[in-house]
Structure 1
């Protein structure tokens, strides 16, 4: 993924889109336990909901959550009336959107507190090693099962990179979302879509590995081999896209059909701010993506007054690209 000389059209994923049956449990988790704040709330009126997420939804209640006012790593909560499928936590082997990642200063303390608050984990936090160039780095992670099929992966890295929330408030226990995760069958196509020839991010880490620690943390079969790439702004400090693919022949469920914003529960899509919607549409088409609903103007508590387009990546991940007006 070399430099094409094109200007980047995005800096990162602005927000993860999460479908909920009831705001209460999610606000208890994100605001009560993780230190997020409700930055905006209200209703997306039916006409704008149709432009964003498809016809027939009616008005959609929403909440916008931020961590220390961070401009990235946000959460859009959408109340779903009549979800297309029951809530179910995706497994790491499943194809489609997976967990939402964030840093914690003390993962063992997080495990104890969140478990006591009624949020179970797949296992106790586990430590594993991954290659980084010629070196090996250590990561400690745990997978927490949140409400409505939402998976949260808490990470205590050996050397945490800077995050907007921790720069603003160094005493915080948790950051904003540091990664949004998708398991994609066509890895190269997804890299091209988000990369320099596409929307303008950079893949600065791409590795294939296996580890007993990650098998324990994510309840994976013995001998699972994963390919993992982080795609992010070259400047860093913003939420990354974490692309995975299982290389060892193990297969899960394809969840992409029910992971549709305002229709499905849990992690259902990504909201991405751009400086130029029209240029973004051109690059989406040029790199194998699909325009699902054409550019249009909306006014919502999540976007303000904006021009938006709904697209799918080459692997069928739902993305809304929006430009502030």
Structure 2
């Protein structure tokens, strides 16, 4: 297999009804910065996200200039009335993850600022090789149905934001999470047979601590894989699957970028868009937007296309101008 066509998730796409509450959270509380903003023209927005979206206001948020783990805020012109928070058992996109140095302080700070949590942070154990390691997490119920999962790992991996500014309390996005019915198909799409990312963790486990934090039935067994760049330096994808899912809702049809609120898609930089699309379709993806050239506040000047993964997750692929295949 040739060199990977993508490294990791460049940005999570988050649909908003109003920018202000998200800017208060991500910039005011978590230290992200608005590094680009503007409007995606109607013609380009229609190509990328489908007919009827019109011109789309957008803002690009980064943490300490990190090249991945970014947030694309896109304003939804006529959002649906509901903006429900996904449950861990729901099919489709789930949380966007951020490392914190002190999760208890984070919880108290954000609750006091008006951002409720599903529960207090909880610690649970996950298998890692021949041992288990503790992870402490908590779900913050952010605006417009967005779940922000704060993670205080026992041994934090390197992140670009903490490398650039070790004093920061928070990182860029460290993971984006999806719960899919066909786990192996999603793994093939992103892994060596598909876009070339590395699968460095693939386990099935249960944990009472996870059940308490994520409101799961007792005895729930979850399969979890981490997919990322080979060196783990970019925002990774967490693919999850619960067999015999007892009560999950399928949210995938309501998670469309620029049409719905909350975590609705991913944007991924590629070194060769044509090869990436060929590899994606061979791995079971559906092309929803053929390649076109545009300049947007989210992608810069680039060739852009869009696909749905084998499990219906919306992904924008873009090749920046001047980056040859």
The TM-score, its normalising length taken from structure 2, stands at 0.97
* Aligned equivalent of 1:258: 254
* Aligned equivalent of 1:238: 234
Contact 1:95 / 1:256 at 8 angstroms: preserved in 2?
yes
Contact 1:6 / 1:197 at 8 angstroms: preserved in 2?
no
SS at match of 1:177: strand
Residue 190 (str. 1) matches residue 186 (str. 2): yes
Contact 2:63 / 2:70 at 8 angstroms: preserved in 1?
yes
Aligned residue among 73, 95, 100 for 1:99: 95
Aligned-residue offset at 1:251 = 2.8
Runs (4 or more) in structure 1 with deviation over 3 Å come to none
Instruction: Sort the Cα spacing of 1:273 and 1:48 in 2 relative to 1 into closer, same or farther, 3 A.
Output: same
1:78-114 superposed Cα distances (whole Å, 9 cap, x missing partner)? 0001124521100000000000001000000000000
Q: How does 1:118-157 map to 2 (within 5 A)?
A: 118-157=114-153
Aligned residue among 75, 78, 88 for 1:79: 75
Query: CA–CA distance in 1 between the matches of 2:264 and 2:194?
Result: 22
SS at match of 1:302: coil
Gaps of 5+ in 2: none
Query: CA–CA distance in 2 between the matches of 1:21 and 1:258?
Result: 15
Query: CA–CA distance in 1 between the matches of 2:231 and 2:133?
Result: 22
Query: CA–CA distance in 1 between the matches of 2:243 and 2:221?
Result: 5
The TM-score, its normalising length taken from structure 1, stands at 0.97
Contact 2:89 / 2:245 at 8 angstroms: preserved in 1?
no
* Aligned equivalent of 1:315: 311
* Aligned equivalent of 1:216: 212
Contact 2:103 / 2:151 at 8 angstroms: preserved in 1?
yes
Aligned-residue offset at 1:6 = 2.0
Aligned-residue offset at 1:35 = 0.4
* Aligned equivalent of 1:52: 48
Query: CA–CA distance in 2 between the matches of 1:269 and 1:85?
Result: 19
SS at match of 1:279: helix
Bigger mean CA offset, 20-29 vs 75-84 = 75-84
* Aligned equivalent of 1:267: 263
Aligned residue among 176, 179, 193 for 1:180: 176
Contact 1:272 / 1:320 at 8 angstroms: preserved in 2?
yes
Aligned-residue offset at 1:170 = 0.1
Aligned residue among 293, 296, 302 for 1:297: 293
Aligned-residue offset at 1:298 = 1.2
Paired positions, count: 321
Query: CA–CA distance in 1 between the matches of 2:286 and 2:80?
Result: 22
* Aligned equivalent of 1:276: 272
Query: CA–CA distance in 2 between the matches of 1:150 and 1:261?
Result: 13
Gaps of 5+ in 1: none
Residue 170 (str. 1) matches residue 166 (str. 2): yes
Query: CA–CA distance in 2 between the matches of 1:199 and 1:292?
Result: 17
1:281-313 superposed Cα distances (whole Å, 9 cap, x missing partner)? 100111001101111111111111110111000
* Aligned equivalent of 1:21: 17
CA RMSD of aligned residues (A): 0.8
Aligned residue among 128, 153, 156 for 1:160: 156
